[in-house]
Amino acid sequence: MSPVRRPNLRLVVAGTLAAVVLGVASTVALATAGAFRGPAPTGTRCAAPALAGAVVDVTLADMGGGMMGGPMTGGGWRGMGMARVLVSRGVVPAGTVSLRVVNVGVRTHELVVLPLPAGQAAGARPVGADGRVDETGSLGEASRSCGAGAGAGDGITTGATGWVTLTLGPGRYELVCNLPGHYKAGMYAELDVR
């Protein structure tokens, strides 16, 4: 190889490495929800008991209030900012599946499991005037702080964990937070069962 070519090769290698590093960095940021974490949660903290079946860790994250126009009022979504549902694994075997859901955001959230029709992407459900999506066909939910299932349905408060164990057949599912405005703010994720 001539000396003239070597710098070109180094440039190519450096560019490739940079792309890899950037890709890994953004993936890690998403995985830890660091980009969406607001002030440290100050609410009730709790750990889930040992859960049956395939366990999926779900993280509910938001950027808090005030960043996109102040506190949410009257169910409006403009003040919500960005929020996310992050899953530790996108595919689980059919059968018993447990969702261990921690809220690292500053707002109360919940997690509802809905069937995802063939050909429909997560996040594509129509949002009603009340800021919520249709929960018809719901397979269950984790919407209780430090407890299983729907409970009183008051949601999982900041810093708390909720959980639910379901029997899921093969198919595509969408995990959503259906508090007013939250779906539109980005709180959905796909979970595939095979």
Site residues, Cu ion (CB under 5 A)? 109, 177, 179, 182, 187
| Cβ 83 to Cu ion shortest distance, Å | 6
- Any idea what the Cα angle at residue 133 is, between residues 77 and 68, rounded to 5°? 15
Number of H helices, E strands in the chain: 1, 9
| Cβ 148 to Cu ion shortest distance, Å | 19
* Helix ranges, 1-156 (H): 6-32
| Cβ 103 to Cu ion shortest distance, Å | 8
Helix (H, G, I), strand (E, B) or coil at 176: strand
Cβ proximity to Cu ion: between 25 and 140 the closer is: 140
Taking alpha carbons only, the member of 101, 112, 92, 99 closest to residue 61 is 101
DSSP state at residue 186: T
Cβ proximity to Cu ion: between 87 and 179 the closer is: 179
Cβ proximity to Cu ion: between 58 and 97 the closer is: 58
* Helix ranges, the chain (H): 6-32
Rounded to whole angstroms, the Cα distance separating 23 from 123 reads 23
Rounded to whole angstroms, the Cα distance separating 88 from 31 reads 8
| Cβ 42 to Cu ion shortest distance, Å | 18
| Cβ 107 to Cu ion shortest distance, Å | 6
Cβ proximity to Cu ion: between 42 and 167 the closer is: 42
| Cβ 183 to Cu ion shortest distance, Å | 8
Query: Tokens in use for 171?
Result: 């198919």
Cβ proximity to Cu ion: between 39 and 49 the closer is: 39
Cβ proximity to Cu ion: between 81 and 147 the closer is: 81
**CA distances for 113 relative to 28, 179, 187, angstroms:** 25, 13, 12
